[in-house]
């Protein structure tokens, strides 16, 4: 992990292909985190219609022209800070796994999340997968069992067999009323998302809040990610897992009987 924050200013300008003055209409706000998939504004004129502008990289917005301002070809309408490193290297693993932000931005996001949780009267629940809410094997003998989900992962010839813990949907439905739930697993990201689509096909419970082995800081303990995920503290966080040692037996942990 880095020890110093390093970011670079990056203005977003009207594309060179635009030959006429345009009116800018924003789709974002100052201090918002953006990435290349985010549409930041529309450039509009009466003659040629709308041009959609997307963020050039990962970072957050620092300055913006006024809504409805006229911009000319080559002129910058927005300025942002591109994140190249961070003092805490805090990844936004549930929404944008590859995005790292500084401690300051992470704290702002955490405060917003905390306020939203309190307003909804909910806590956070980190949910392990294997042997906590599901059981998976690639043993061919498992073909004889019923009520099992079978699938292959990309690039693997193996057939995986997954059985959901009894009454899982009912339990998740009940928990979702009181918790914002996150998947937290040592399975790799492809496996984690495969199981998430199986357990929560409509994304009602976990949405994209999935922390897999690919985002974990440490291959043997999940607790290493807690400060990065929750920089304002763990007072709103609960954990369910069949293995207590991977959380260093945190007081936030509810240790469950393994499902085998």
Any catalytic annotation for residue 128?
yes
Catalytic-labelled residue, pool 16, 130, 241, 242: 130
Total structural domains within the chain: 2
The token pair at 195 is 């199981």
| Domain span holding position 46 | 22-71
Looking at the structure, tell me whether residues 119 and 232 fall in a common domain: yes
pLDDT category, 215, cuts 50, 70, 90?
confident
Catalytic-labelled residue, pool 85, 128, 200, 242: 128
81 domain-assigned: no
Nearest 10 degrees: Cα torsion 57, 59, 63, 65: 40
Q: What is the pLDDT of residues 7-57, one digit of tens each?
A: 445 556 566 666 566 667 778 776 676 666 677 778 777 666 777 777 766
12 domain-assigned: no
Looking at the structure, tell me whether residues 60 and 108 fall in a common domain: no
194 domain-assigned: yes
Looking at the structure, tell me whether residues 62 and 188 fall in a common domain: no
Any catalytic annotation for residue 130?
yes
According to the 3-state scheme, what is the secondary structure of 81-126? EEEEECCCCEEECCCEEEEEECHHHHHHHHHHHHHHHHHHCCEEEE
Looking at the structure, tell me whether residues 112 and 162 fall in a common domain: yes
Looking at the structure, tell me whether residues 41 and 133 fall in a common domain: no
Domain of 222: which CATH number? 3.40.50.1000
The token pair at 243 is 């293995």
Q: What is the pLDDT of residue 145?
A: 92
User: 119 versus 15: which is more confidently predicted?
Assistant: 119
Q: What is the pLDDT of residue 92?
A: 46
Q: State whether residue 180 is helix, strand or coil.
A: strand
Looking at the structure, tell me whether residues 134 and 243 fall in a common domain: yes
Q: What is the pTM of this model?
A: 0.65
Buried b (16+ CB within 10 A) or exposed e, 117-136: eeeeebbbbbbbbbbbbbbb
Whether the per-residue pLDDT at 4 is higher than 50: the answer is no
Q: What is the pLDDT of residues 68-118, one digit of tens each?
A: 666 655 555 544 444 443 333 444 434 454 455 566 777 777 788 888 899
Looking at the structure, tell me whether residues 40 and 99 fall in a common domain: no
């Amino acid at each position: 992990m880095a020890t110093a924050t390093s970011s670079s200013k990056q203005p977003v300008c009207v594309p060179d292909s635009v030959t006429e003055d345009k009116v800018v209409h924003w789709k974002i706000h100052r201090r918002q985190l953006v990435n290349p998939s985010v549409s930041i504004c529309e450039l509009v004129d009466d003659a040629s219609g709308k041009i959609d502008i997307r963020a050039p990289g990962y970072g957050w917005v620092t300055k913006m022209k006024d809504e409805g301002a006229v911009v000319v070809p080559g002129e910058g309408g927005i300025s942002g800070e591109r994140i190249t490193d961070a003092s805490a290297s805090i990844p936004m693993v549930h929404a944008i796994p590859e995005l790292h932000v500084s401690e300051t931005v992470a704290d702002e996001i955490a405060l917003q999340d905390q306020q939203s949780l309190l307003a909804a009267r909910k806590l956070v629940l980190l949910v392990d997968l294997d042997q906590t809410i599901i059981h998976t094997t690639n043993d061919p003998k498992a073909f004889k069992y019923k009520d099992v989900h079978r699938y292959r992962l990309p690039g693997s010839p193996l057939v995986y067999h997954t059985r959901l813990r009894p009454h899982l949907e009912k339990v998740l439905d009940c928990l979702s009323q009181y918790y914002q739930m996150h998947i937290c697993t040592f399975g790799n990201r492809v496996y984690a998302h495969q199981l998430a689509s199986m357990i929560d096909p409509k994304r009602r419970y976990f949405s994209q809040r999935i922390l897999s082995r690919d985002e974990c800081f440490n291959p043997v303990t999940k607790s290493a990610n807690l400060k990065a995920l929750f920089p304002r503290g763990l007072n709103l966080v609960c954990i369910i897992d069949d293995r207590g040692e991977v959380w260093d037996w945190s007081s936030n942990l509810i240790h469950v009987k393994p499902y085998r």
